[in-house]
């Protein structure tokens, strides 16, 4: 059975985004990963990474109609790390789960009605899949920009 072209395309975007997120972390200091770039109302790279990858796994599960993984969303926004290796140890297993959710020949029904676990509203499988991809990419861009700002600041 050939893979669904929507899943194939999504797999490409997710894989590219996860690789870019990992690159934004690699070799960064604890200060670079934990600093809030523009004050207390902004998120450091560590928060962006943990939140983005957990959210992606969650929304891909919704899209595929699979049980939701355990998740403590509020704690994602409190993440601090001692170094890049600690952050990658949090990131890598969840990123692998995200890839596994898309690395399957199981049929994808984009028109299937799913319940948005946040508020009970109904969404389609396609909506959840697209949301997972675009939300991840948005936070990858945030992490990349935050890392660039840190490096340019010379701190």
Residues 6+ away with beta carbon under 8 Å from 113: 122, 123, 124
pLDDT at residue number 155 = 55
pLDDT at residue number 39 = 87
Please name each of the domains of the chain with its CATH number: 5-104+111-153 (1.20.120.450)
Residues 6+ away with beta carbon under 8 Å from 68: 58, 61, 62, 117
65-88 b/e with 16+ CB inside 10 Å = b?
A: eeeeeeeeeeebeebebeebebbb
**β-bridge partners, 124:** 113
Average pLDDT per run of 10 along the chain, which is 155 residues long?
Answer: 84 98 97 92 96 98 95 96 98 98 91 90 96 98 94 76
């Amino acid at each position: 059975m050939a893979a669904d072209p929507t899943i194939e395309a999504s797999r490409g975007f997710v894989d590219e985004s996860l690789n870019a997120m990992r690159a934004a972390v690699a070799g960064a200091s604890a200060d670079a990963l934990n600093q809030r770039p523009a004050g207390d109302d902004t998120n450091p790279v560590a928060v962006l990474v943990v939140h983005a990858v957990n959210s992606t796994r969650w929304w891909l599960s919704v899209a595929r109609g699979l049980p939701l993984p355990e998740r403590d969303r509020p704690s994602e926004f409190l993440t601090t790390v001692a170094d890049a290796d600690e952050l990658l140890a949090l990131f890598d297993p969840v990123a692998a789960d995200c890839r596994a959710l898309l690395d399957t020949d199981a049929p994808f029904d984009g028109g299937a009605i799913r319940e948005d676990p946040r508020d009970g509203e109904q969404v389609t499988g396609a909506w959840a899949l697209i949301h997972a991809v675009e939300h991840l990419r948005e936070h990858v861009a945030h992490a990349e920009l935050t890392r660039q700002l840190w490096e340019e600041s010379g701190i």
